[in-house]
Amino acid sequence: MTDIITMTDIITPGDSDALIVVDIQNDFCPGGALAVPRGDEVVAIVNRLAKMFHNVVLTQDWHPRGHFSFASTHPGKNAYDTITVSYGPQILWRDHCVQETPGAAFHDALQIPHACLVVRKGLDRAIDSYSAFYENDRATPTGLAGYLRERGIRRVFLAGLAFDFCVRYSAEDARRENFAAFVIEDACRGIDIGGSVAATHVSLAGLGVPRIIAAEIKPGIMG
Ligand SMILES: [Zn+2]
């Protein structure tokens, strides 16, 4: 991983800030069906961060059986093959986060009882959804942008799994929806397929999304 870009100012979360915790689910942690290497290491960091935010949103990948993004749905295809679909390239994955299976559950040690919203995504059998804001056609909204706006949120801080897929897409779409966005890089872990981590760094820089570290966030009125 390249050097983390840090900001000079300490950030104190307030009422117009939200922490978005992306996909910290068993299947994305070691031992899970689609494990992100060292994915479980973010749990303690995210628990600590969440205590500093009044507004915390969790996302949960939540697929029906036979989901389009599963290699097993496409005869002759293997995990990590790429197919072309109506909305562009789609990487195929091992079956993961099937609704109501233990793999789809949040990691046991994730402790954020005050989370105000759980956004489930990837429910449509025919479209994958990496982002917390849009399905992969980048046209079908999840409703999160409207929720955040109605709540007066102006800045979002992203953490979770995987850095170079669901966190990346969520950060990109947050900017597209005119939220200020920050990725807390040491509270994320990536999978790095075909240079996807480096591509994420380039994309975030281009969109004005700072990559920060958890230590730059300090408790405010909630602390
Ligand atoms: Zn998925």
pLDDT digits (tens, 9 = 90+) for 81-112: 999 999 889 999 999 999 999 999 999 999 99
- Cis (ω within 30 of 0) for the bond into 180? no
Cα–Cα distance, 185 to 201 (Å, whole number): 10
Give per-residue pLDDT as tens, 190-204: 999 999 999 999 999
pLDDT in tens, 154-187: 999 999 999 999 999 999 999 999 999 999 999 9
Q: Of the listed 29, 97, 166, 188, which one is catalytic?
A: 166
Report how far ligand 1's centroid is from the alpha carbon of 223 (Å). Answer: 34
5 falls in which pLDDT band (50, 70, 90)? low
Q: How far apart are CA 97 and CA 118, in angstroms?
A: 15
* Amino acid in position 43: V
Q: What is the pLDDT of residue 172?
A: 98
How far is the C-alpha of 9 from the C-alpha of 17, rounded, in Å? 16
User: 12-27: per-residue pLDDT in tens?
Assistant: 999 999 999 999 999 9
| Catalytic site includes residue 121 | yes
Q: Residue 98 Cα, ligand 1 centroid: separation in angstroms?
A: 9
- C-alpha span between 135 and 84 (Å, rounded): 16
Query: In the predicted model, is pLDDT for residue 4 greater than 60?
Result: no
Confirm whether 51 is a catalytic residue.
no
CA 91 / ligand 1 centre spacing (Å):
10
Confidence (pLDDT) at 111: 98
pLDDT of residue 9: 76
For residues 178 and 219, the model is more confident at: 178
- Sign of the CA dihedral 194, 196, 201, 206? positive
Q: Which two tokens stand for residue 29?
A: 């942690």
Decide if 72 contacts 8 (C-beta within 8 A). Answer: no
Please report the pLDDT score of residue 8 as a whole number: 59
pLDDT in tens, 53-83: 999 999 999 999 999 999 999 999 999 999 9
CA of 169 to the centre of ligand 1 (A): 13
Whether residue 1 is predicted with pLDDT greater than 50 in this model: the reply is no
Q: Would you state the pLDDT for residue 220?
A: 73
**pLDDT of the residue at 6:** 54
Q: Say if CB 24 and CB 107 are below 8 A apart.
A: yes
